[in-house]
Chain A
Amino acid sequence: MRNILLIARREYLEQIRGKAFRITTIMIPVVFAGIMAVMILPSKYWTTQKDIVVAAQNPALAARLQQQLSADKDAKLTVGVLVPATEADRAKLHAEMDAKKIDGFLWVAAGADGKDDVTYVSRSAGDFTTDDRLDNDVNHALVERRLVTKGIPAAEVGPLTHRVDITTMVYRNGKEEPSSALSTLFFGEAMAFLLTFTVVMYGMNVGRSVIQEKTSRIFEVMLSTVKSTDMLAGKLIGIGAVGLTQILIWIVLGAVLLSSAFVEKWLSGEAKPQVSGVEILLLCIYFLLGYALYSALFAGLAATCDTEQELQQYAPLAAVPVWLSFGMFIYILGNPNSIWSVLISMFPPCAPITMAFRFSAQFPPLWQIALSLALLAVSIYIVLWLSSRVYRVGILMYGKRATLPEMIRWLRYS
């Protein structure tokens, strides 16, 4: 145990004193804040003005639509009206779009069955925000017109279809707290980003450290004094402690920043994440276990390589679970307790990241957390068992990257 701690201390001090630690500790939050700013600010403050035309046969409906769409200040729409619109006008509107005079037009026609037939033709595909607003406003205006058609006085239609803004609260720790989709998104992404970055980066760091020791030919000197398993354990503990230190620095910095007046103002209180002590503790546990899994894997693989370039070829082993987890991001936030969300959060390579998503959406049942931790622990044991055997032989082999059959033979030697 003494040797494990000595090796862990050496690894810890070497990494903590390194430039890379200082740079990543500062740069990662800056880069993350930058990414968030790029994601949030433009849509909030710098959306461009759009010119659209409402083309309809019914002048009253067209006017109501124009009024509704223009009233939505966030949408930044300039709305023109074309009534009564004919098929020839449609071609004219296309020409105006070609000439970039308008960004799109809303074509409102009565269908053959008497139902309304509404089409939005736009120059840009995938404008979700405008699509969503149009959908809301058009439906609202059409419902109003139908009510008037059914004989309800126009003066009464307004109060009947009056919009209600829903205040979103989240029930947590026995009380209701303000929440919003944006804060959920922000918090989920922040936690996942933090975990992904630290777990994968420090996992790869262990691999890199093994390669450096192999290159510097220090292993044989060390092996005449300490067991290979002690060397591996010391390395994992030392580098893991560096990662934990970095996470704690970020948590403290984050707490200080979130309580500052500047952030309070910037986030308007709406996107301010709600983080409990239990969640921070679990975040740390998931970091440690995720790190242990990836670092054990990369330590074993690194022992079979001679250069960092060779090790890079194994990077997809870490990247695929990360892609998979982030691919499920929106789905998990919307359906945190669905069978797929539960299953992927039980899958050990994805568990740390997907559990972070689930924490931000809805705190999962305790048994699910316990099961995912247990599965993670079992997989760490298996990977560590295999890796330490490959490591024992691999660190003394120089010259070329080992093939799979060679690795299997090494498992037998050990």
Chain B
Amino acid sequence: MPPVVALSHISKSYESKVAVEDLSLQIEPGSMFGLLGPNGSGKTSSIRMMIGITMPDSGSVSLFGKPYARESLKRVGYLPEERGLYKKMKVMEQLVFMGELRGLDKVTAGKRAHEWCEKLQIMEAVQKKTEELSKGMQQKIQFIATLMHDPELVVMDEPFSGLDPVNASLLQDTLIELKKAGKAILFSTHRMDQVEKMCDTICLIHRGHPVLQGGMREVKSRYERDHVAIDFEGDAGFLQHPAVESFKNYGGYAEIKLRPHADAQDLLRTAIAKAKIFRFELMEPSLEEIFIRTVGGED
């Protein structure tokens, strides 16, 4: 099965500013891909080229195994970071309009919109004008508009920004369902902690350049488990152990960074001797830490 998205050495500059340089990536069906990086790193520019809003200066874009063609966009659901709705339109009219634009007929669009509104529990809002709804409600409608035509590729740029925890969880559950159904999902976000648990593959991007790329497990396995989370009661003197490079003690909970190749088992023995230990977890570094380690020298 060909990859759903294949970017090959794409670059884009605006005047003298390089937005993206020599980016290549592939997104497989039934996978979640994280395009990660700080604000202004080139994530949105990459996505815009992926779905033809802008054209790359060089390199090529393939969707569903074929060179980019507008026709392919009917199989894509895109939720941009700068997302909006027609404020004067009623919710149902708006969803049907969006569905029709994405190739559905009016009846099917109405049926799908109805099903999604029921699923996301916003049936009471369907006859209201968008401007009368709360922000959270509007986000649900944007979410439905992105997914109601059953796209094979779902692209979400900063999907969790501004979402309350309940809606964020609802969105996560729905996306996991879609992934199980074989859809390819691309996340773009600067909040790496939010997608860390969900992504199969990632690409870390910095100043338009891809700096780290690969399967999540494979990327993480490149880094030593050198962080310890510890819940304890009693003397915190074990934090002075020679294996500890730095620590944050919250009183009963501490986060420790170990020295390179330090013996964590010896630290555990010392801790047990001094305090009552409820949890001692040797953790792999977070994506954020990996990112900082990778690009830290450049800044």
A412 CB → nearest B CB, Å = 11
Q: Quick check: is B89 within 8 A (CB to CB) of the other chain?
A: yes
Enumerate chain A residues within 8 angstroms of B25, measured Cβ to Cβ: none
Binds B, one of A35-43, A87-95, A214-222, A257-265: A214-222
Q: Quick check: is B238 within 8 A (CB to CB) of the other chain?
A: no
Tell me which residues from 398 to 414 in chain A have a Cβ below 8 Å from any Cβ of chain B.
398, 409
Give Cα distance in the complex from A151 to B85, angstroms. 92
Give Cα distance in the complex from A7 to B89, angstroms. 13
B141 CB → nearest A CB, Å = 11
Q: Mark A4-28, 1 if CB is under 8 A from B, else 0.
A: 0011001000100010000000000
B33 CB → nearest A CB, Å = 17
Cβ 8 A contact of B86, one of A18, A216, A225: A216
Q: Quick check: is B201 within 8 A (CB to CB) of the other chain?
A: no
Enumerate chain B residues within 8 angstroms of A218, measured Cβ to Cβ: 83-86
Cβ 8 A contact of B88, one of A18, A220, A224, A227: A18
Cβ 8 A contact of A3, one of B53, B81, B86, B101: B101
Q: Quick check: is A118 within 8 A (CB to CB) of the other chain?
A: no
Tell me which residues from 83 to 127 in chain B have a Cβ below 8 Å from any Cβ of chain A.
83-89, 97-98, 100-102
Q: Quick check: is A226 within 8 A (CB to CB) of the other chain?
A: yes
Interface residues of B, dominant DSSP? loop
Given contacts A216-B84, A217-B84, contact A225 B53 (CB under 8 A): no
Enumerate chain B residues within 8 angstroms of A14, measured Cβ to Cβ: 86, 88-89
Q: Quick check: is B49 within 8 A (CB to CB) of the other chain?
A: no
Q: Is the CB of B145 within 8 A of A221?
A: yes
Q: Quick check: is A223 within 8 A (CB to CB) of the other chain?
A: yes
B170 CB → nearest A CB, Å = 20
Closest A residue, CB atoms, query B131: A216
Q: Quick check: is A371 within 8 A (CB to CB) of the other chain?
A: no
Q: Quick check: is A267 within 8 A (CB to CB) of the other chain?
A: no
Cβ 8 A contact of B97, one of A6, A396, A398: A6
Q: Is the CB of B89 within 8 A of A221?
A: no
Enumerate chain B residues within 8 angstroms of A217, measured Cβ to Cβ: 80, 82-84
Tell me which residues from 43 to 75 in chain B have a Cβ below 8 Å from any Cβ of chain A.
51, 53, 70, 73
Closest B residue, CB atoms, query A218: B84
Closest B residue, CB atoms, query A398: B82
Q: Mark A321-361, 1 if CB is under 8 A from B, else 0.
A: 00000000000000000000000000000000000000000
Cβ 8 A contact of A220, one of B15, B82, B86, B145: B82
Question: Which A-B residue pairs are the 6 nearest by beta carbons?
Answer: A217-B84, A224-B78, A218-B84, A220-B80, A216-B84, A217-B82
* 17 A-B pairs whose Cβ atoms sit less than 8 Å apart in the complex: A6-B97, A14-B88, A14-B89, A18-B88, A213-B84, A216-B85, A216-B86, A219-B84, A221-B78, A221-B80, A221-B83, A221-B98, A221-B145, A224-B51, A224-B73, A224-B80, A226-B101
Extra pairs beyond A7-B101, A212-B87 (18, CB < 8 Å): A3-B101, A10-B86, A10-B97, A14-B88, A213-B86, A217-B80, A218-B83, A218-B84, A218-B85, A221-B98, A221-B145, A222-B101, A223-B53, A224-B73, A224-B78, A224-B80, A225-B98, A396-B53
B interface with A by C-beta (< 8 Å) = 15, 51, 53, 70, 73, 76, 78-89, 97-98, 100-102, 142, 145
